[in-house]
């Protein structure tokens, strides 16, 4: 991938806060069941290329709790239930003491950033997509040649 091949360079000094990572069900459990590989370690590695201070939520990886808005719940009318569902996620996040949360999935990010932070009094936790973290850590250099990658 880009980072390993040195096609992009990242600056760790930009994100110094304690950072944690949320496992989306689609990248983890569901990929594991559907494709035989759960993406648990790859995003952690990428996160840690951008952040020195990293902490895990518990439980994590295949046993991680859903954000509460999966399966279309973010677009469904059952708002109260969605927030109730998210209480477990909110506690997991708070327990880490992290001030930056990486949520790669659109849905998880919206639920945590736009709903759970407000509902569970954790507005001091910043939420970013994984690619947002990478984009914000980029060291932009004058143009050279190159080839490829994907998350």
Partner 1 sequence: MDPLLLSKREKRTLATQYADLCLTCGTCAGGCPVTGVDGLDVRKAVRLVLLGMEQELIDSRFPWVCTLCGRCEHACPMGIDLLAMLRSARGKRARDKVPGVLHKGVQMCLKTGNNVGIPKEDFLFLLEDVGAELAEELPGFEVPLDKKGAKYLFTINSKEPFAEPEDMFYWWRILTAANESWTVASENWEGVNWGLFTGDDEAMKEIVGRIVKNYKELECEYLVLPE
Q: Say if CB 49 and CB 127 are below 8 A apart.
A: no
Count the alpha carbons within 13 Å of 145 in the hemisphere toward its beta carbon: 0
Q: What is the CA radius of gyration of the chain?
A: 16
Q: Please, which residue, 14 or 135, has the CB nearer to partner 1?
A: 135
How far is it, in rounded angstroms, from Cα 97 to Cα 125? Answer: 9
Binding of partner 1 by 29 (CB under 8 A)? yes
Helices (H) and strands (E) in the chain, counts: 8, 4
Binding of partner 1 by 71 (CB under 8 A)? yes
**Residues in region 75-134 near partner 1 by CB under 8 A:** 75-78, 81, 84-89, 105-106, 129, 131-132, 134
Binding of partner 1 by 73 (CB under 8 A)? yes
The span of 13-21, 48-56, 73-81, 118-126 binding partner 1 (CB under 8 A) equals: 73-81
Torsion over CA: 113, 119, 123, 125 (sign): negative
Count of Cβ atoms closer than 10 Å to residue 46 Cβ: 23
Binding of partner 1 by 39 (CB under 8 A)? no
Closest separation in Å from C-beta 99 to partner 1: 20
Please report, as ranges, the residues that interact with partner 1 according to CB under 8 A: 2, 7-8, 25-26, 29-30, 33, 62-73, 75-78, 81, 84-89, 105-106, 129, 131-132, 134-136, 138, 140, 143-146, 148-151
């Amino acid at each position: 991938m880009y980072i390993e091949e040195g096609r992009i360079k990242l600056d760790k000094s930009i994100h110094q806060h304690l950072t944690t990572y949320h496992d989306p069900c689609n990248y983890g459990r569901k990929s594991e069941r559907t494709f035989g590989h759960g993406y648990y370690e790859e995003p952690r590695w990428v996160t840690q290329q951008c952040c020195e201070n990293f902490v895990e939520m518990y439980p994590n990886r295949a046993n991680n709790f859903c954000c509460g808005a999966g399966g279309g719940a973010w677009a469904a009318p059952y708002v109260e239930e969605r927030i109730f569902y998210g209480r477990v996620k909110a506690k997991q996040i708070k327990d880490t003491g992290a001030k930056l949360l990486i949520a790669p999935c659109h849905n998880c990010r919206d639920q945590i950033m736009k709903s759970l932070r407000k509902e569970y009094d954790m507005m001091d936790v910043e939420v970013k997509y994984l690619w947002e973290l990478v984009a914000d850590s980029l060291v932009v250099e004058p143009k050279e040649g190159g080839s490829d990658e994907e998350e």
